[in-house]
């Protein structure tokens, strides 16, 4: 499974239309597993698309894509709810721009490890676990173990490296 992130601006209608068109074009020929979206700092939508490449595209209800676009277009404040897939987590993980950068670095690290070790990426860490790491900024193995989906074995195997990655990414961010 792969993940792609889209950023859809709220304050610029021309950019918003173009970004929505890019998202819809990307979704046309994919076998989409899940789509998650979050409003970031009331400035833009962050849309995560989890998909499988190389699998036959299953017919899907074209209204599903329209629903996503309508939800993005209509939502003005974080208090408003957006419909989400049944298998989505109860509460979406909303990341700031800085946290999104840490999440991207963690995903790249995880994907590199999975390719090198011949493992599926989720065997190293699920995307939700990586998002939570970016959000809560763990500084010790004990704090890392508290991340949902990331237990003691994973913390022993990957914990020191993950903590170094998070610390390095945090230090590169302006305050």
Residue-by-residue pLDDT tens, the chain, 175 positions: 678 888 888 787 877 778 888 877 777 766 776 777 777 777 788 888 877 765 544 444 444 444 545 554 554 433 343 444 444 445 677 888 888 899 999 999 999 999 998 988 888 999 889 999 998 899 999 899 888 888 899 999 999 999 999 999 888 776 6
Distance, CA of 83 to CA of 151 (rounded, Å): 31
Residue 135: Cβ within 10 Å count: 16
Cα 3 to chain center, whole Å? 7
Distance, CA of 100 to CA of 87 (rounded, Å): 22
Distance, CA of 81 to CA of 78 (rounded, Å): 8
Task: Spell out the domains of the chain, with CATH numbers in brackets.
Answer: 2-74 (3.30.70), 97-172 (1.10.150.80)
Q: Tokens 């990957």 correspond to what residue?
A: 158
pTM of the complete model: 0.50
pLDDT at 27: 74
Contact assessment for residue 88 and residue 36, using Cβ atoms and an 8 Å cutoff:
yes
pLDDT at 56: 46
């Amino acid at each position: 499974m792969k993940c792609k992130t889209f950023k859809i601006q709220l304050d610029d209608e021309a950019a918003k239309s173009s970004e929505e068109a890019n998202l819809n074009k990307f979704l046309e020929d994919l076998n989409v597993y899940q789509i998650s979206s979050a409003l970031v700092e009331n400035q833009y939508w962050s849309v995560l698309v989890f998909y499988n490449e190389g699998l036959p595209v299953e017919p899907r209800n074209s209204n599903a894509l329209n629903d996503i676009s309508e939800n993005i277009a209509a939502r003005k404040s974080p208090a408003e709810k957006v419909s989400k897939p049944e298998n989505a987590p109860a509460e979406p993980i909303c990341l700031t721009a800085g946290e999104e950068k840490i999440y991207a670095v963690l995903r790249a690290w995880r994907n590199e490890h999975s390719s090198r070790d011949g493992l599926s990426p989720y065997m190293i860490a699920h995307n939700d676990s990586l998002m939570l790491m970016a959000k809560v900024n763990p500084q010790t193995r004990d704090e890392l173990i508290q991340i949902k989906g990331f237990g003691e074995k994973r913390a022993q195997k990957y914990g020191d490296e993950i903590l170094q990655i998070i610390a390095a990414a945090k230090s590169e961010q302006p305050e």
